[in-house]
Amino acid sequence: MGAVFVWEGKLLLIERGKPPAVGFWSIPGGHVEHGESWQDAVEREVIEETALKATCGDLIGWVERESAGQRYLIADFKIDVANPHVAKPGDDATDLIFAEKADFARLKITSGLADFLRKYELMDL
């Protein structure tokens, strides 16, 4: 699952430090642990990867991705964050940024992210 947070017109992205997509920029996210709800997983992953306390909001949509022979079905949710200015990378995130439209030209983003953002009108790219 993934977490989408836009603050002052900028999208929260992390640089992935572990597979899949090491070195690529993506929205925070990960897997759902046994016995965990989708919403709890979103909130846990956001804390682990960004140090932000998030509240999971509405489901945006589903995407399918393939990486290193593995297929992933990913549910992406909007999140709310009270104090975005305290964000810092953690867990498998090596860096983070609140990305503007212009940043997407220089960042190596994960496959399909820009299409997803356009499809759901989350950013004007």
**Which CATH number fits the domain that encloses residue 21?**
3.90.79.10
**Percentage above 90 pLDDT, the chain:** 84
Domain count, the chain: 1
Least confident of 10-14, 63-67, 75-79, 103-107: 63-67
Length of the chain: 125
Q: What is the value of pTM for the model shown? A: 0.93
The answer, yes or no, to whether residue 115 has pLDDT greater than 80, is yes
Quote the CA–CA distance of 110 and 35 in Å, as a whole number. Answer: 28
For residue 42, which of 53, 52, 56 has the smallest C-alpha distance?
56
Q: For residue 73, is it within any domain? A: yes
Band (pLDDT 50/70/90 cuts) for residue 68 is confident
Asked whether the beta carbons of 59 and 76 are under 8 A apart, the reply is yes
The answer, yes or no, to whether residue 45 has pLDDT greater than 80, is yes
Instruction: Count CA atoms within 13 Å of residue 74 on its CB side.
Output: 23
Q: For residue 124, is it within any domain? A: no
Tell me which residue range forms the domain holding 64.
2-119
Q: For residue 62, is it within any domain? A: yes
Q: For residue 125, is it within any domain? A: no
